[in-house]
Amino acid sequence: MPSTPATRRIALDCMGGDLAPAAVIEAAAQISRQTAIELLLVGDRAQIEAALARTSANAAQIEILHADDAVHMNDTAWQAARRLQSSVALAAAAVAEGRAEALVSAGNTAGTLMHAARVIPRIAQIERPALAAVYPTRPRPHNPDPFALLLDVGANLNCTPEDLLDFATMGAAYAARISKVSRPTVGLLNIGEEPNKGDELLRKAYALLAAAPGFEFHGNLEGRDVPRGVVDVIVCPGVLGNVTLKLLESMGDVVLSLGEEVFRRKASWRVGRWLLRGGIARLANLVDYSSYGGAPILGFEKIVIKAHGRSNARALENAIKVAAKAVREDVCGAIACGVHEARRRQAQ
């Protein structure tokens, strides 16, 4: 059925993620009750129906598409690629065919990337779609949304300077439409602030970024700037982004567990710790970077959101809402325009 501007249809990989299918179905049920978003649930029909029966989902907004197979969380990239009848493969195909407008999966990252790439066209002139991580930062003056985008975080291990420029353009288009920043700021992750810092890739990327339209180039950033939230979009090659993201994710854990050990040593500290328990839980939640919706995969003609493998129902609800918002705000169109404009400027 064709969607009106108000109703968006999201294909949901019900078999992907550590807590699938239960958490995925729970999120779907919530979404169907609280929003007008329509859902195409892709996966094992018997399991999906059994899980749905335990919820009070609004059946009118839900359709099921059966899949015999599923990509496993620990499948290698090659194993994942061969599962052509998996839930994520069929969900991607449904998006490519227009049965849904966006794909959300909490499954195996390589599987989601490859099955999307197999059937969903890339935006014209984009060589490499990128995996972007959304992470919380301190509030920035010009951006009320306390989130920033880091890309690429592992989809592209060998990048050219032009790829890094595309990442910046795509990330800025996403930030402009999702966080409503009129002119997003972009930084290049490097080993120092000066323009001549870094290897050849980073120096050439700096020059391209400084000349690019579509965003405000802040220059080079250092590792310490990542959690501080200096810019809206940070670009870097995939290995660097992946290590950075996983370090960020573990940050809260390590400091909180060190705190637990230290605070146990004195009676007054134990009392203080007990009084603070609610505050500490809130802090733990703030720095749990895995609970923040999903990571958009940018560069396809359709929206693809990769939710964290550990996503619970609440994180999946956020991912579905972000996917619907990205469709509504035509993020893919904004990316196409941004890349077109950047190429035109480069050719001048």
Residues that bind a second copy (CB under 8 A): 76, 138, 154, 157-158, 189-191, 194, 196, 198-200, 202, 222-228, 236, 238-240, 242-252, 254-259, 262-263, 265-266, 268-269, 271-276, 278-279, 282-283, 286-287
Q: Measured between alpha carbons, how far is 271 from 175 in angstroms, rounded to an integer? A: 43
**Identity of residue 235:** V
Query: Of 107 and 338, which CB lies nearer to a second copy in the complex structure?
Result: 107
We find the least distance from the C-beta atom of residue 230 to a second copy, in angstroms, to be 11
b/e code 125-138 from CB counts within 10 Å (16+ = b): ebebbbbbbbbbbe
Q: Which residues lie closer than 8 Å to 2 by C-beta, 6 or more apart?
A: none
Q: Measured between alpha carbons, how far is 103 from 296 in angstroms, rounded to an integer? A: 10
Query: Of 135 and 174, which CB lies nearer to a second copy in the complex structure?
Result: 135
What DSSP line would sit under 276-299, residue for residue?
Answer: THHHHHHHHHHT-GGGS-EEEEES
We find the least distance from the C-beta atom of residue 20 to a second copy, in angstroms, to be 20
Query: Of 59 and 281, which CB lies nearer to a second copy in the complex structure?
Result: 281
Query: Of 211 and 258, which CB lies nearer to a second copy in the complex structure?
Result: 258
We find the least distance from the C-beta atom of residue 310 to a second copy, in angstroms, to be 12
Q: For the sheet containing 62-66, what is the strand order?
A: 62-66, 38-43, 9-13, 102-105, 303-307, 294-298, 130-136, 147-151, 233-235, 185-189, 216-221
Query: Of 49 and 253, which CB lies nearer to a second copy in the complex structure?
Result: 253
Dig out the tokens for 272 from the structure. Answer: 């203080």
Query: Of 48 and 234, which CB lies nearer to a second copy in the complex structure?
Result: 234
Query: Of 23 and 188, which CB lies nearer to a second copy in the complex structure?
Result: 188
Three-class secondary structure of residue 224 per DSSP: coil
Distances from the Cα of 70 to the Cα of 82, 89, 146, angstroms? 11, 9, 35
